[in-house]
Amino acid sequence: MSITPEEIEFATDLFSGMGPLTTRKMMGGLCLYTDGTIFAIIHSDFGVMIKDAGEFQNELNALGLTRWTYQRDGKDKPTSMPYWKLPDSALDDPDEACDLARRALKHL
């Protein structure tokens, strides 16, 4: 299932405080970039997610956010991706969403 134009508009509005954004469709969704660095994706099944790297992964885990995982056919363990669902509060608060994005970019 692909993401809708409404989902794309929502996410680009949510992160508009990050300055000029570019996007690219991939990974079953839409990747969001600032200054050529991917910091978030929108996925039709998982929603808006922020990217982790380095110590930021520990911060996201401590916040109790859910990491994007999926089960590959024939594999016993799920595969983890470096993306975490935004908290519901950040989906309603562009300042919070952009704060998380800026924190992510410090580690990317």
| Stated pTM of the model | 0.88
Structural domains of the chain sorted by starting position, each given as residue range(s) with its CATH number in brackets:
5-105 (3.30.1460.30)
Looking at residue 76, its pLDDT comes to: 83
**Distance (Å, rounded) from C-alpha 70 to C-alpha 104?**
22
- Residue partners of 101: CB distance under 8 A and separation at least 6: 15, 18, 34, 39, 40, 50
Cβ proximity of 39 and 29 under 8 Å: no
Q: Residues 18-47: pLDDT tens digits?
A: 999 999 988 778 999 999 999 999 998 889
Looking at residue 12, its pLDDT comes to: 93
Cβ proximity of 97 and 49 under 8 Å: no
